[in-house]
Amino acid sequence: MANPYGPNPVGKKQDVAYQSGDKEKPKEVQYIGGLFKGTLSIIPQPNEKQLADYAKRVYANTPYTKEKESMSEGEAGNPIPMKVGDPSPIKYVFYIIKENRTYDQVLGDMPQGNGDLSLVLFGKNVTPNQHKLAEEFVLLDNFYVDGEVSADGHNWSLGAYATDYLEKNWPTSYGGRGGTYDSEGNREIANNKGGFFWNLCKTNNISYRTYGEFADNYKANIPVLENHFCPYYTSWDEKVRDTTRVNQWKRDFDSLLAIGQLPRFNSLRLINDHTEGMRKGRPTPYAHVADNDWAVGMFVEYLSKSPVWKESAVFIVEDDAQNGADHVDAHRTTAYVAGGFVKRKFVDHTMYSTSSMLRTMELILGLPPMTQYDAAATPMWRCFQNTADLTGFVSVPSIVDITEKNVALNEWQRRSEAFNLAKEDAVPDLEFNIVLWHGLKGSNVPFPAPRRAAFVKLTASKDDDD
């Protein structure tokens, strides 16, 4: 559902009930973890014939079919193959995972898309590079994350599902009732049983490398990443700028390119759009998000000037959308695509998800789906064209001073001092977003009136240049 009262980077004090369920009085803050409704059905035990009928009904109602494991939606001649294993002119995939923003928070000011200006916090003046990517390549205004928070979001982002253990335990952990952050390879029971995208690559002899994702403190979190990660790339540490991370990647990229060993699948982590709230002496939320935006622009520009640009595709997404409000749905987020075969100045209203992005990358690399979710997902073939446009991307220097620090001594600063930002989502998310909203907008700026919306699948015509 829509969550215009969703968490925001700055805000006045509000009470947040993480797992309180429905109440007669609407919650003041619409945190994604509190928007779910549970149901219990009591069904008479079916006989064998009834059970078979129920199974058929379930199968008919799900978007997954066995055939989709080998064949997918698409069009002839498109760079995204319809059949698993068919060749693609795209050889290299770069997958960038960022942190926690909704569509309306960042791109709600783009008139071409379905946005709500009243919910924009980090618009074009803060994120000029992401706006430029959406304008010059493809604007995606109907894209949704599959995960709810970072704890399940990173597993979804790299594995197309999260385990039963993880999905049942993050609400307890995030609700302050016990448990730890078990995601990203930190605890074996939380790891996807079939492995992650890197395991899929290894099984199918596709070279791969990770930069920060599932590689904390300069070491691999899971065995499949041993000897397949950049040893000097900084993972979760908000004292390090994302622009610095991109320079770390450049060094590694150049060295691999020079010896002809550039992996076909590359996963990168850029974290600072998470922000540190209003913590005194630390970068302001605007500075953090601007640094993240500039890093994204620097990355795409550098790749576009490289000899592999024509054969490359860049996919950028948030791991989750919990840290903000959106007038369509609390899962709607920003996503970007770039590359030689990506369409230019195109708006795609197709309903996509994290699994759609994974499915697209799998088809490019000739890989089968990992789960029923990516098998069933609509691949992003409408974003691509069969002829390459080798025009490069020129990044925009940050308009915001990325060295700007929080200096105000007020309620939002004091509350930020208590935040534990040593690990993602260690802070109560709703509290964090309240601080962000009011710290940036001012204590007297209320949240907009609630709106409700349903999913609508809008598909852009392949001949539609708008």
Q: Distance (Å, rounded) from C-alpha 376 to C-alpha 355? A: 8
Residue ranges in 216-266 assigned as alpha helix (H): 242-258
Domain 1-36+48-466: CATH superfamily is: Alkaline Phosphatase, subunit A (3.40.720.10)
Q: Is residue 305 exposed (0-12), middle (13-18) or buried (19+ Cβ within 10 Å)?
A: exposed
Asked whether the beta carbons of 135 and 338 are under 8 A apart, the reply is no
The pLDDT of residue 205: 98
Of 263, 261, 229, nearest to 248 (Cα)? 229
Asked which of 102-111, 259-268, 293-302, 419-428 is least confident by mean pLDDT, the reply is 419-428
Angle, to 10 degrees, between the axis of helix 285-304 and the axis of helix 242-258? 20
The pLDDT of residue 126: 97
Could you read off the pLDDT of 366-400 as tens digits, one per residue?
Answer: 999 999 999 999 999 999 999 999 999 999 999 99
Q: Distance (Å, rounded) from C-alpha 63 to C-alpha 379? A: 13
Could you read off the pLDDT of 88-104 as tens digits, one per residue?
Answer: 999 999 999 999 999 99
**Higher confidence at residue 230 or residue 407?**
230
Q: Distance (Å, rounded) from C-alpha 249 to C-alpha 230? A: 8
- Residue 9 is given by DSSP the state B
Q: Which pLDDT band holds residue 18 (cuts at 50, 70, 90)? A: very low
Strand partners, 10: 434
Q: Which two tokens stand for residue 111?
A: 């008139």
Q: Distance (Å, rounded) from C-alpha 418 to C-alpha 431? A: 11
* Strands 92-98, 312-318: pairing kind: parallel
Could you read off the pLDDT of 213-240 as tens digits, one per residue?
Answer: 999 999 999 999 999 999 999 999 999 9
The answer, yes or no, to whether residue 127 has pLDDT greater than 80, is yes
Q: Distance (Å, rounded) from C-alpha 182 to C-alpha 336? A: 28
Strand partners, 318: 98
Asked whether the beta carbons of 455 and 330 are under 8 A apart, the reply is no
Q: Which pLDDT band holds residue 13 (cuts at 50, 70, 90)? A: very low
- The residues near 263 (Cβ < 8 Å, ≥ 6 apart) are 92, 207, 208, 209, 228, 256
**Higher confidence at residue 1 or residue 290?**
290
The answer, yes or no, to whether residue 35 has pLDDT greater than 80, is no
Q: Which two tokens stand for residue 358?
A: 């994974």
Q: Distance (Å, rounded) from C-alpha 124 to C-alpha 132? A: 9
Asked whether the beta carbons of 198 and 208 are under 8 A apart, the reply is yes
The answer, yes or no, to whether residue 462 has pLDDT greater than 60, is no
The answer, yes or no, to whether residue 14 has pLDDT greater than 60, is no
- Residue 378 is given by DSSP the state P
Strand partners, 405: 283
Could you read off the pLDDT of 143-155 as tens digits, one per residue?
Answer: 999 999 999 999 9
Of 74, 96, 95, 377, nearest to 264 (Cα)? 95
The pLDDT of residue 459: 44
- Compute φ and ψ for 97, nearest 5 degrees: -115, 125
DSSP track, 52-73: HHHHHHHHHHSS--GGGGTB-S
Q: Which pLDDT band holds residue 457 (cuts at 50, 70, 90)? A: very low
The pLDDT of residue 298: 98
The pLDDT of residue 451: 43
